[in-house]
Amino acid sequence: MTAAPLLSSLDELRITNRYLSLPADPIADNYTRQVKGACYSRVAPRRFSAPQRVAYSPPLAADLGLSEAICRDPRFSRVFSGQELLPGMEPYACSYGGHQFGHWAGQLGDGRAINLGEVITATGASLTLQLKGAGPTPYSRNADGLAVLRSSLREFLCSEAMAALGVPTTRALSLTLTGDRVVRDMLYDGHPESEAGAVVCRVAPSFLRFGNFELHARRDERALLQQLADFSVTADFAHLLSLTGKERYLAWFEEISARTLEMILHWLRVGFVHGVMNSDNMSILGLTIDYGPYGWVDDFDLDWTPNTTDGELHRYAFGRQPAIALWNLYKLANAIYPLIGSAGGLEQILRQLEREYHRRFYEMMAQKLGLARREKGDLSLIDELVQLLGRAETDMTLFFRTLSRLQSEAYGQPLTSPLRAAWYQPQQLSAADVEAIEGWFQQFGQRLQREDPGRDELRRQEMDRDNPKYVLRNSLAQQAIERATDGDYSELERLFTLLQHPYAEQPEMEQYAAKRPEWARHKVGCSMLSCSS
């Protein structure tokens, strides 16, 4: 693939604002309020005292045509913290609602996100630039619209790490310190602290969410609902324009559902837990969006959630993500029902999606296990493995990576030793646990022997393409945050570089592939996080 030509100046960015063709909030003043009959409000980013770029993403910058010299120039920091607007930039914040933890929350909107405009790249792609933490908007409710370094660093790193993993995601172009302090009560326990303020420039083809459509449907703003749906189809699903009427909207919903399913399967594949799957955090394009209290499962646990707010109900736990995605799709279906006028087609799509999920899940797991063909007994083999991984407190990332190294002839022998490195508490395993684990490996070995016995190396290569060696464990992110808080960004830079190649061996970085250290088991920022994290 030929690299996109690089620009000589930020002023050469081609910026448009298709979204501004939709109805706007007629009130120009920026104060908290209910915004009705509009898709967005025009706002201006807050003035900051001393913007300073901390990090940027060279791969994404290159996609936008931005050279290293441009990204290291002080003007880059000013533009991507909202202090200077390029020609064509017209800042605005979007209006949307959503269901939060299963309950309708009313109007939410871009409370601390401000869109700058859409860049048209050299390949013709349209990518929206959005600043997170650039100040209040009419949708900020009681908040200040700002963000702090620790949460911004987590979002910057994770956005780009997920992209490198091949997971559908919004991206992050830059992380900028504002030079100002922000007060946050990280654990919501009455102990607020002053922290460094920061802004992340997020990038995506669209930031439309399920909640954009839910809000207009709830308010019975049918004309606006249809305008927004037509905009979405035209902007990001143009291949559906040949369809008309309800057939177009059904096909649109079917593709949204398929993209959502694809995203969830990727989350399960790499062990990612979003942590706050409210319907306002669900992308119409099936992109991972809004990196708040996310986490990677260290020890495989279907009931684990990284979100302190979800600590009692575990609504958004690792293993519940497929069901919650379906629940959110039902809410979106309810929202767009007025455009179709009948429920049958929508219900059929959702029923089919549920069946497709189960088929695709087992297919994904079979690929993680390196199975080249499918047999009837594979489903029970996978189900038993899922139970055993939780029973033995096994590091998910290490387990599958280690599994790819085992030669087929090893599967006739006890396999406690090769996998011990993936267990967190091997001394706590009972004799029955070990017997069950070794029994599974006996079955798995017999299964492999029914395939080509000479494909060990090919199987390893295939498994290594599905099973990452390096993921952004919370303990790794926390160490980078602690150093960055002291003004040392070397660990941030090291992690960014490492996570651009998560499937590669990178022998010199072997320590980053180790399982979670014991000190991180209950440490704030490593085990569970709040929405302020």
Which residues are known to be catalytic? 280
| Cα 136 from Cα 48, distance rounded (Å) | 13
Name which of 267, 252, 381 is nearest 322 in CA terms: 267
A 10 A CB-CB count for 325 gives: 21
Token representation of residue 10: 């930020």
H helix intervals, 241-395: 245-270, 321-340, 344-368, 378-391
Name the token pair of 271. 């062990």
Amino acid making up residue 65: G
Which of 297-324 are b and which e, b meaning 16 or more Cβ less than 10 Å from the residue's Cβ?
A: bbbbbbebbbbbbbeeeebbbbbbbbeb
Question: Distance between alpha carbon 29 and the CA centroid of its chain, in Å?
Answer: 33
164, 501 in Cβ contact below 8 A?
yes
User: Hey, how many other C-beta atoms are within 10 angstroms of the C-beta on 20?
Assistant: 16
Cα-only R_g, the chain: 24
Give 1's Cβ-side CA count (13 Å radius): 4
**What SS3 class is residue 141?**
coil
Nearest to 524 by CA among 201, 53, 188, 170: 188
Token pair 């120009």 is at which residue?
Answer: 28
Give residue 310's identity as a one-letter amino acid code. D
Please report, for the chain, how many H helices and E strands are present, in that order. 16, 12
